[in-house]
Amino acid sequence: MNLTRHELIAPCGLDCRLCQRYNRNKKPYPGCRGDDHLKLSSCLNCKIKNCLVAKQEIQFCSECNEYPCKLVKALDKRYRKSYGISAIDNLNHIQEFGLDRFIEEQKKNWVCMGCGETLCMHQKECMHCGRVWRISNINK
């Protein structure tokens, strides 16, 4: 299943294209908005995605009256600590500047300087050429 770049931005504001599951060769992850038959049970049980599915009328957490809820805050805290990425900053950026601009900035910010391929937010090295792009995971 080929999702558009817009569909690869998860409800929580993370870019599924940057996930190690999405980038693996064996059984790649289809993204949060992709085919459920291809997802791991942990992804199917994502409380954030399932919350938005129940609320059908919104596409991103930032459109919810409860934003940022405890689920988004917990995800944001975990990703800030481990990877230096903020779901809340991403969602606020999408809300302020639009999804197209966010996607363009993601493309520019997550490119390996060695081979030009997309970097994985979960890895210290490029999954394509092995070039180290982050000295360590942020607070590990």
Angle between helices 87-97 and 99-109 (to 10 degrees): 130
32 burial type by CB count under 10 A (0-12 exposed, 13-18 middle, 19+ buried): buried
C-beta separation of 8 from 31 below 8 A: yes
Q: Provide the whole-model pTM.
A: 0.86
Q: Of the candidates 100, 77, 95, 101, which has an alpha carbon nearest to the alpha carbon of residue 87?
A: 77
C-beta separation of 11 from 32 below 8 A: yes
For residue range 19-35, what is the model confidence (pLDDT) as tens digits?
Answer: 888 877 777 788 888 88
Q: Which two tokens stand for residue 120?
A: 């994985």
The confidence score (pLDDT) of residue 43 equals 82
Provide the 8-state DSSP code for 47: H
For residue range 39-95, what is the model confidence (pLDDT) as tens digits?
Answer: 888 888 889 988 876 677 889 999 999 999 999 999 999 999 999 999 999 999 999
